[in-house]
Amino acid sequence: MITAGLLQAGNERGLRTIGLKPVAAGCEPHEQGLCNADALTLQSTASVRLGYQQVNPIALEQPMAPHLAALRENRRLDAERVVAFCRGSLMQPADLVLIEGAGGWRVPLNQRETLARVPQLLEIPVILVVGMKLGCINHALLTAEAVARDGLRLAGWVANVIDPQMTALEENIDSIRACLRAPLLGVVPRLEDPGVEAVAKHLDLDLLLGAGES
């Protein structure tokens, strides 16, 4: 929903937006084959209309880590193949392209590669979404360190309030902001109706575009 919210914010500025989720685990049968709910949201939110297979070329049925879901289906994930799918969709003219991950920076694709290899090969900046709950500072800082170690730039981060009753919520956000050398793009509260328009209201696209995201 954070990705879709950023796309919607771009739509409201009149930008041509594309949202991709190249690998999705946790898919259900639809008329067009296996489809993932998150990928469908990105497809319907983006202003540049792409076919589902362009948005989510690798759809896995079981809702688990992608490499494990692929093993269940006797399939092997490969970063180069994922990147090739992405580059095909990136040939479409667009002002804002967001490529959503699946499970986190160090989630394996296979025995040699993690999902981080995909943005590395594409040489694109990274947006970090931090689920605000106990342990979020450690998660945010370790992930940011891993992104930097992999040679990529953190374009911004979003505080996603998973636990609205979190003790010292504002202090935790301030602590992460003080440590990350990237702009805070917004604090998304726990929403009763988490539609893309509602999420977009809590995100500052100017900060992202000012960071050089494309």
**Quick one: 200 and 184 in the same domain?**
yes
Chunk the chain into consecutive blocks of 10 residues (it has 214) and report each block's average pLDDT, rounded to whole numbers. 97 98 96 93 98 96 96 96 96 96 95 97 98 97 98 98 95 98 96 93 90 47
pLDDT value of position 193? 85
**Quick one: 100 and 12 in the same domain?**
yes
Q: Show which residues are catalytic.
A: 21
pLDDT value of position 11? 98
**Quick one: 171 and 76 in the same domain?**
no
- What are the b/e assignments for 154-175, b being 16+ CB within 10 Å? bbbbbbbbeeeebeebeebbee
Q: 92 with 135: CB under 8 angstroms?
A: no
**Quick one: 8 and 83 in the same domain?**
yes
**Quick one: 98 and 139 in the same domain?**
no
pLDDT value of position 31? 85
**Quick one: 2 and 106 in the same domain?**
yes
- What are the b/e assignments for 14-48, b being 16+ CB within 10 Å? ebebbbbbbbbbbbeeeeeebbbebbbbbbebbbb
Among 59, 94, 122, identify where a domain stops.
122
Residue with tokens 């079981």: 62
pLDDT value of position 211? 55
Structure-block tokens of residue 173: 């956000």
**Quick one: 167 and 100 in the same domain?**
no
pLDDT value of position 42? 98
First-residue to last-residue Cα distance in the chain:
19
Number of compact structural domains in the chain? 2
For residue 203, the enclosing domain spans: 125-214
Which residue type sits at 86?
A: C
Structure-block tokens of residue 169: 């919520």
**Quick one: 112 and 133 in the same domain?**
no
> Which pTM value belongs to this model?
0.94
